[in-house]
Structure 1
Amino acid sequence: MRKALLQLHTAVFLWGFTGVLGRVITLDQTWLVWYRLLITTVSLWVLYFFMNKIKKLPSRSIFLISCIGFIQALHWVCFYGSIKYANITIALTTLSTSALLASVIEPLLLRKRFDTIEIFLGLFAIAGIVIIYNTHVQFSVGIIIGLLSALLTVLVSVLNKKIVDQYAPDQITLYQLTGGFAGLSLLLPAYQYFFPEQHHIPVAMDWLWLVLLSWVCTIMTFFLYIRSLKKISAFTMNLTLTLEPVYGILLAFVIYHENEKLSKWFYVGFGLIALAVAFHMIHLLRYTRLKSSSN
């Protein structure tokens, strides 16, 4: 159990570190994600080939998984775009609303009943975002893109829940990342025509950070995450995942001193979001206990 928790916390910390890498890499957001997916996809195909883990799936299944991967790629583009237009702290703060957004989106897509308490907590989070937005207008574009990033990651999560029991996690990861790379590659020419980006060729140090981002923060974290799930509960996993923005924001404060660029109102808004997330986890814990006791 202790080893599984260490593996999960290591994975979450490394996910939080992706924000720092997103800022240090000089590439614009679309190219950053494209190179990340290029390195990750090629590495995974080679790794899975030697591990004999490549399984052929029906064409329809590959297409479906690939589409989810494309949405994941768009999430990354928006996440790094939020960092480029604002900063790491803003990007991770908006991303932290994803659990509360899920409480609204999941019932719509999975045809479940709405939870009044979760809707109320969602309003708390919205209030926090409004305060941050109105008091940090210079980051307004980054905040909007960050919220779109949170919306897309929720969509990926919900769609993955529909297929997670049908396919092995290794195959989902392989074909999602491949689909994300293929979809972004097809979109890239049109996107660059209408929204040309200047920084599209990595400088020497970018390659080091891109490999670190792909191998350590993507592939290694996936293996740590999957292994930890065999020993810990779903609630512990969800609770630990809420620490990703916390780790990332603390790293941004220590490395880039981003706290010096934020007003006191940011902490008020962030406090409302953190409070909503905390109460949401408590609510989930009570629901899980009631459900287990009734069974």
Structure 2
Amino acid sequence: MRKAFFQLHGAVLLAGFTGILGRLITLNEGLLVWYRLLITAVTLWVLYFFSKKLQGISFREIVKITGVGAIAALHWVSFYGSIKYANVSVALVCFSAIGFFTAVFEPLITRKKMNWTELLLGLIAIVGISLIFHFDPQYKTGIVVGLISALLGSLFPVFNRQLLQVHTSETVTLYELSGGFLFLSALLPFYLQYFPPDHVLPTVSDLGWLLVLAWLCTVWAFRLSMNALKKISAFTVNLTYNLEPLYGIALAFAVYREDKLLTGSFYGGLLLIVISVLLQTWLFYRAHKKGAVLANT
């Protein structure tokens, strides 16, 4: 059990580290994500082919899964764009708005009743982001792009829950990443025309960090979280992933000393976001504990 917890927190820490890598890699956001998807998709095709974990599915289902992959690709492009236009800390603060957008879109997609508590907690995070937006005008573009990333990021987990009820996680991951790569490959020529990069080919340093991003922060992080799920409940895994933005911001402070570049309004907004995350965690835990008690009666 202890090993599983270490694996889980390792996966979350690696996820938080992606923001640091987004600043280290000098490619623009579109190319960065394209190379990440290329390396990751090729790696997974090789791994799953030899391990025989691929599940045979219909063409219609492939189209569904690859469509979700396209949303994931756009989420990543806008997330790294937020880092390029602002910084790692601001991008991760905006990522916290994913709870608000999930509370809005999940009931619309799944046709379930609106959870007003989740919506209220999400609004607390939005207020925190708006506080930063209002008092730190230098980050406005990065915040807008970051909120677009959070909106997109709230959609594909909702679709994933539906897909995982029918298909294995390996199949969904493989076709999503492959679909995201194909979609971005078609979009990239037009994207680069409007957002011309300084260079198209990665430098030696970029290539090294891209391999870290693809192999460690994507492939290995996924394997760690899947291994942890064998010993730890999905509830605990979801709860722990609430720490991802906080881990990422802490890393940005330690590596880039972004804490020296940020004003008091950022910390005020961050405090509201931390409060919303803690309240969400507490309510999530209470609901889970109540459900466990009812199940045992």
- TM-score when scaled to structure 2? 0.96
Where in structure 2 are the equivalents of 1:198-209 lying within 5 Å? 198-209=198-209
CA distance in 2, matches of 1:101, 1:250: 24
Aligned to 1:240: 240
CA distance in 1, matches of 2:54, 2:234: 28
Aligned to 2:273: 273
| Deviation of the 1:43 alpha carbon | 1.2
Question: Which whole-Å deviations, capped at 9, do the CAs of 1:224-283 have from their partners, x for residues lacking one?
Answer: 111111221233112210111111111111111111110011111110011011111111
- Runs ≥4 residues deviating over 6 A: none
1:159 to 2:159 alignment: yes
Aligned to 2:259: 259
Aligned to 1:282: 282
| Deviation of the 1:193 alpha carbon | 2.5
Where in structure 2 are the equivalents of 1:53-132 lying within 5 Å? 53-132=53-132
CA distance in 2, matches of 1:63, 1:177: 12
Aligned to 1:175: 175
CA distance in 1, matches of 2:183, 2:139: 29
Where in structure 2 are the equivalents of 1:15-54 lying within 5 Å? 15-54=15-54
Task: Report the residue type matching 2:182 in the other structure.
Answer: A
Task: Report the residue type matching 1:91 in the other structure.
Answer: A
Aligned to 1:193: 193
CA distance in 2, matches of 1:238, 1:52: 28
Q: Which runs of 5 or more structure 1 residues have no equivalent in the other structure?
A: none
Question: Which whole-Å deviations, capped at 9, do the CAs of 1:186-215 have from their partners, x for residues lacking one?
Answer: 111122223333332211111111111111
Q: The residue matched to 2:55 in structure 1 has which SS?
A: coil
Aligned to 1:228: 228
Q: The residue matched to 2:113 in structure 1 has which SS?
A: coil
Task: Report the residue type matching 1:237 in the other structure.
Answer: V
CA distance in 2, matches of 1:116, 1:15: 29
How many residue pairs get aligned? The number is 295
| Deviation of the 1:120 alpha carbon | 1.9
Question: Which whole-Å deviations, capped at 9, do the CAs of 1:5-62 have from their partners, x for residues lacking one?
Answer: 1111000001111111110101000000000111111111112222222333210111
Aligned to 2:218: 218
| Deviation of the 1:117 alpha carbon | 1.9
Identical aligned pairs, as a percentage? 48
CA distance in 2, matches of 1:204, 1:197: 17
- TM-score when scaled to structure 1? 0.96
Name the stretch that deviates more: 196-205 or 251-260: 196-205
Contact 1:100/1:277 (<8 A) preserved = no
Q: The residue matched to 1:242 in structure 2 has which SS?
A: helix
Name the stretch that deviates more: 95-104 or 257-266: 95-104
CA distance in 2, matches of 1:55, 1:239: 29
Q: Which runs of 5 or more structure 2 residues have no equivalent in the other structure?
A: none
| Deviation of the 1:99 alpha carbon | 2.4
